[in-house]
Structure 1
Amino acid sequence: MGDTEDGIKLKKTVFVTVGTTCFDALVRAVDTPEVKDELLKRGYTHLIIQMGRGSYTPTKSGGDDGSLAVDFFTFSSSIADHLRSASLVISHAGSGSIFETLRLGKPLIVVVNEDLMDNHQSELAEELAERKHLYCARPQTLNQTIAAMNLESLLPYPSGNAIPVAKLINQFLGFPDDK
């Protein structure tokens, strides 16, 4: 099996982030037996949940009985380390979280918070899903999305070239054009 090395099960972590918001519906969804079972079926071993301002507390588990090891925290000065070590990221639809994850080349499921008014974030997530850079789900469809996902079908997100924008800003500010 590809998930073992010399008979030792490799750690495959799912990192869930809600950013600085309260998104209890997402935290509740990843805490359900259906989602946890689906992640286990896919070979994931650990689930780390950044729960933000939420009031719902997920169930911790050591994973000793063959279940998913689950841990959580509210905030961290930097989630970059968690993103880097993750095998899969499940995120709220904040553009910062989305683009930081895509820049790291991590597979991503964006879960849209339908409770937000004027939800422009869902438009971004749906557009990037349409372009095959990530999967887009709702809290109630998360386990079906995990069951159906094919991570090999995701396309890398091309890093943007900031040079034209920087040149335009420099020109606007009156700085010389360095060639």
Structure 2
Amino acid sequence: MADTEDGSKPKKIVFVTVGTTCFDALVRAVDTQAVKEELFRRGYTHLLIQMGRGSYVPWKSGGGDESIAVDHFTFSSSIADHLRSASLVISHAGSGSIFETLRLGKPLIVVVNEDLMDNHQSELAEELAERKHLYCARPQTIDQTIANMNLESLIPYTAGDATPVAKIINRFLGFPDD
């Protein structure tokens, strides 16, 4: 890994987000030594965890030559800046977080919250993983997913054109075609 002009390693941030939910299982999973060591081994220097409404508080550390620096916060008025500065995003399976990250072209691991009833979010995450736009994991498999991921194999996501669908809906509702 190339050093910066001042001799330090370039900053490679892993941003973890649970959105507005409580997803302590994800926060707890990324706070394990196994996950931190695997991220550090892969060249990541910082782990920033947005912990939402959860009660589990991750361990903060300063990092250094032997470990990844860890910080956390509960909420932010916008996570867009955190997403933009991230080298890797680990997210809950909320569609807003997923598509915002994919639109920015960031590598993404989506972690499904198995405690949710009627979990349609897992269907979205698994479908996008099958299409190779992201990786899908469970809290208990996040360390193996990180160890086995090949970010070069991910296919960039391109949003579809919703114009034809909008025209059909407008026609159905009696609005004139433009």
Give secondary structure in 2 for the equivalent of 1:4.
coil
- 1:16 equivalent to 2:16? Answer yes
Map 1:9-88 to 2 at 5 A. 9-64=9-64, 66-88=66-88
The one-letter code of the counterpart of 1:116 is L
% identical equivalent positions: 84
Q: Which residue of 2 aligns with 1:156?
A: 156
CA drift at 1:55:
0.1
How many Å separate the matches in 2 of 1:151 and 1:26?
Answer: 21
CA drift at 1:67:
1.4
CA drift at 1:72:
0.6
CA drift at 1:65:
5.0
Give secondary structure in 2 for the equivalent of 1:5.
coil
CA drift at 1:64:
3.2
The one-letter code of the counterpart of 1:92 is H
How many Å separate the matches in 2 of 1:102 and 1:83?
Answer: 10
CA drift at 1:165:
3.1
How many Å separate the matches in 2 of 1:14 and 1:110?
Answer: 13
- 1:122 equivalent to 2:122? Answer yes
Stretch deviating more after TM superposition (97-106 or 62-71): 62-71
* TM, length-normalised to structure 2: 0.93
How many Å separate the matches in 2 of 1:4 and 1:50?
Answer: 28
The one-letter code of the counterpart of 2:122 is S
CA drift at 1:160:
1.7
How many Å separate the matches in 2 of 1:42 and 1:64?
Answer: 15
How many Å separate the matches in 2 of 1:80 and 1:167?
Answer: 31
Give secondary structure in 1 for the equivalent of 2:63.
coil
Structure 1 gaps of 5+ residues are none
Q: CA RMSD in A?
A: 1.4
How many Å separate the matches in 2 of 1:86 and 1:65?
Answer: 20
The one-letter code of the counterpart of 2:144 is Q
* TM, length-normalised to structure 1: 0.93
How many Å separate the matches in 1 of 2:123 and 2:86?
Answer: 25
CA drift at 1:162:
2.6
Kindly tell me the number of residue pairs found equivalent between the two proteins: 177
Give secondary structure in 2 for the equivalent of 1:70.
strand
CA drift at 1:37:
0.1
Give secondary structure in 2 for the equivalent of 1:160.
coil
How many Å separate the matches in 1 of 2:118 and 2:174?
Answer: 38
CA drift at 1:173:
4.7
The one-letter code of the counterpart of 2:55 is S
CA drift at 1:63:
1.2
CA drift at 1:169:
4.1
How many Å separate the matches in 2 of 1:38 and 1:30?
Answer: 10
Map Cα deviations across residues 110-145 of structure 1 (whole Å, 9 max, x no partner): 001111111111111111111101001110110000
Q: Which residue of 2 aligns with 1:110?
A: 110
CA drift at 1:168:
3.2
